[in-house]
Amino acid sequence: MSNERESIIKIAESYLFKGLIEQKPDEIPLADNCTRTELGFNTGKDANHLRMLLSSEAYDNVLDCYDLNWIVEGNQACVFYKQKLKQPEVPILVATRFKIENDLIHEIEIILYCPGMTDLFANEVKKAMGVD
């Protein structure tokens, strides 16, 4: 494994472990203009917005991210993994793409699947973002 690949994975993993699980978003190397998209909806407009969201109670439900499988090409990394939440009991299947430049995360794009939950989640994101 090359040092560049390891470095990119380490930076991206900080979002998963320091952000989603530990809720320590100040420890994530986010570019000021970093954006996040989930299921096609913008859910993070910049680093400050993402840090605010990741430190909120909404992420208290995230218990673990495991079975990580990485694909790294250039400055982009994609990880396929399972996410354990307090509810539901079945893990969510997640794919996340990171764009990393100058050791900072610039883009996060997420798709996920959980039987019976994906449509509910998409509808809640639409409501939160004011989209019909």
- Cite the beta strand spans of the chain per DSSP E: 30-38, 41-44, 62-73, 76-85, 92-101, 104-113
Its pTM stands at 0.85
Reduce the DSSP state of residue 39 to 3 states and report it.
coil
pLDDT, mean of residues 96-103: 98
Contacts of 85 (CB under 8 A, 6+ apart): 61, 62, 63, 91, 92
Q: pLDDT, tens digit, for every residue of 107-126? A: 999 999 987 666 666 777 77
Q: pLDDT, tens digit, for every residue of 40-92? A: 999 999 999 999 999 998 888 999 999 999 999 999 999 999 999 988 788 99
